[in-house]
Amino acid sequence: MANRTPVASNNSALIAMIADEDTVTGFLLAGVGNVDLRRKTNYLIVDSKTTVKAIEDAFKDFTTREDIAIVLISQYMIVRWNSCKGVRMIPTRLQSSEEAEAKAALEAVKWGISLQLQKIQIEGDAQSIINYLTSTTNSSIGWRSKAHLDEARSLVCNYQSIFFFYVPRIVNSVADALASKARTSTSECSLTEVPSFIFDVLNSDSATLRALPAA
């Protein structure tokens, strides 16, 4: 290996990478990391504090540099970057956890309408709530919850298609994390960028993406 002839720099190009620390470390151990005279690297380590803008700026930089031919991006960075377009947290004081789930379903339907979405999928981890929304027979739920869900039902005509799915809480961790955060908040919050406290759970949830039924 010591006698190997180096490749001429004017005939070679770099591979760039945007990924988590472990992935980038493996990338560097393979011997393809680079730091030029201006201290610019060919990689970006993304963690929970990395902003979407930082990822975008690194991508733009790597794709316009003449010394970089290929840009590799971890699939989790793509999920974080593209799959979450916004979050909304609404702190409420309701009579029961069942009513809170029903109110959340109603607010999700309303939010989709305000965003002018035509096709939407709503997931929930309360089986009785989803059963009521998807069945023609009434589930055994409280009258307060029923009032929220009947209002949600009355609004589904605003969509070209809408689906309600039951998912266990273990694979609905993003919603659970947002609900936990909302319980400690005193005001409604709507964000158009992914908040850092759900980065890790959003990556985990990427393994449970669901294909919508044919319309």
Which pLDDT tens digit goes with each residue over 127-146?
Answer: 899 999 988 566 688 899 99
Question: What single DSSP character describes residue 206?
Answer: G
Same domain, 157 and 202: yes
Query: Nearest-CA neighbor of 122 among 56, 172, 63, 190?
Result: 172
Question: For the domain that residue 163 is a member of, what is the CATH number?
Answer: 3.30.420.10
**Count of structural domains within the chain:** 2
Comparing 118 with 78, the larger pLDDT belongs to 118
- Residue burial 13-32, b: 16+ Cβ < 10 Å; e: rest: ebbbbbbeeebbeebbeeee
Q: What is the mean pLDDT of residues 198-207?
A: 62
User: What are the pLDDT digits (tens) for 78-114?
Assistant: 545 555 667 777 767 777 888 888 998 999 999 999 9
The predicted pLDDT at position 154 comes to 95
Of the listed ranges 59-63, 75-79, 83-87, 153-157, the one predicted with least confidence: 75-79
The predicted pLDDT at position 7 comes to 41
The predicted pLDDT at position 212 comes to 46
Does residue 81 lie within any of the structural domains?
no
The Cα–Cα gap between 33 and 10 comes to: 17
The Cα–Cα gap between 120 and 115 comes to: 11
Same domain, 134 and 185: yes
Structural domain boundaries enclosing 185: 87-210
User: Given 3-state DSSP classes, what are the helix, strand and coil percentages for the chain, each rounded to the nearest 5?
Assistant: 45, 15, 35
Q: What is the mean pLDDT of residues 153-165?
A: 92
Does residue 82 lie within any of the structural domains?
no
